[in-house]
Amino acid sequence: MLDKFITPVIKPLLTPIVATLHKLGITADQLTVAGFLIGMLALPLLAFELWYGALAAIILNRIFDGLDGAMARYAQQSSSAGGYLDITLDFLFYAAVPLGFILANPAQNAIAGALLLSAFIGTGSSFLAFAISAEKFQLDKPQFKYKSFYYLNGLTEGTETIALFIALCIWPQHFVLLAGIFATACAVTIFTRIHGGYHTLKQLESTK
C-alpha cells in the first residue's frame, strides 16, 4: 500500500551510491546476492535472540535490495534473469525472519509464525501468479515502472513488511500479537488481489 509513495522518495537518494558502486565494477546481481547473504544472517541472530543484530541485518538487506534495482537501471542492466533472482531471494529472506522468531521461542511463537509464513505464501503467490498473466496481456504497470514484472497492489507490500520486521526486532515479546495482526492484514491483501486479479483477467479475456 505504501510502496508507491515511499519508493519515489528513496530512489533519488540511492543514485550517488549507485554511481560510485558502478565505477567500482559492481553489478546489480552481485548486490542482490550480497544483500541476500547479509539478510540471512538475521535467521541465526533471531534464533539466539540477538534482536538488534538481526535488525541491522534486516535493514542492510533492504538497503541492498534498493541498490540492486537502482544499479540495474543506472547501468542499463535490467533483465528478466535479474528480476527473477531478486524476487526469489527476497522471498527466501522474508520467510527466514518468522522462522528465526519461531526458533527463538517455539512454544510461544510457533503458531503465530506459521500463520505469518502462510500469509506470506498467499500474498506472494497471488501477485506472482497475476504477473505471469499480466505479461501475457502486456499490461502496463504505471505505479511500478521500475519493476521487472507487474506488481498487483495490496494492503501489505514491501514497506509494510519491513515495518513489521523492524517492530518485531524492537518488541520481540509481542511477536504473537504483531504477527497475528499482520497475518490478518495479509488475508485482506490476498482476498483483494485474487478478486481484483481474477476479474481483471476475465474482462481482458472477454475482449479478445
Q: Is the pLDDT of residue 159 over 90?
A: no
C-alpha cell at 53: 543484530
Residue 140, number of CB atoms within 10 A of its CB: 8
Q: Is the pLDDT of residue 8 over 80?
A: no
C-alpha cell at 104: 527463538
- Residue 78's pLDDT is what? 83
Mean pLDDT taken over the chain: 87
The pLDDT tens digits for 161-172 are: 999 999 999 999
Rounded to 10 deg, the angle between the 51-74 and 80-104 helix axes is 180
81 versus 3: the higher-pLDDT residue is 81
- Tell me the C-alpha distance between 78 and 86, whole Å: 11
- Tell me the C-alpha distance between 196 and 183, whole Å: 20
56 versus 126: the higher-pLDDT residue is 56
Confidence of residue 143 (pLDDT cuts 50, 70, 90): very low
Q: Is the pLDDT of residue 151 over 60?
A: no
- Residue 149's pLDDT is what? 39
pTM for the model stands at 0.85
CB 204 within 8 A of CB 136: no
- The DSSP line for 137-202 is HT---GGGTTSSSPPPP-SS-HHHHHHHHHHHHH-GGGHHHHHHHHHHHHHHHHHHHHHHHHHHHH
CA atoms within 13 A on the CB side of 8: 7
The pLDDT tens digits for 90-122 are: 999 999 999 999 999 999 999 999 999 999 999
Residue 147, number of CB atoms within 10 A of its CB: 17
205 versus 33: the higher-pLDDT residue is 33
Identify which of 92, 59, 61, 99 has the alpha carbon closest to the alpha carbon of residue 179. 99
**Separation of CA 64 from chain center:** 12
For a pLDDT cut of 70, what percent of the chain falls above it? Answer: 87
The pLDDT tens digits for 71-87 are: 998 988 888 899 899 99
Q: Which residues are catalytic?
A: 90
Confidence of residue 42 (pLDDT cuts 50, 70, 90): very high
Q: What is the maximal distance between C-alpha atoms in the chain?
A: 56
Instruction: Report, as an integer, the average pLDDT of 9-27.
Output: 85
- Residue 9's pLDDT is what? 62
Residues in contact with 66: Cβ distance below 8 Å, sequence separation at least 6, in sequence order? 10, 11, 14
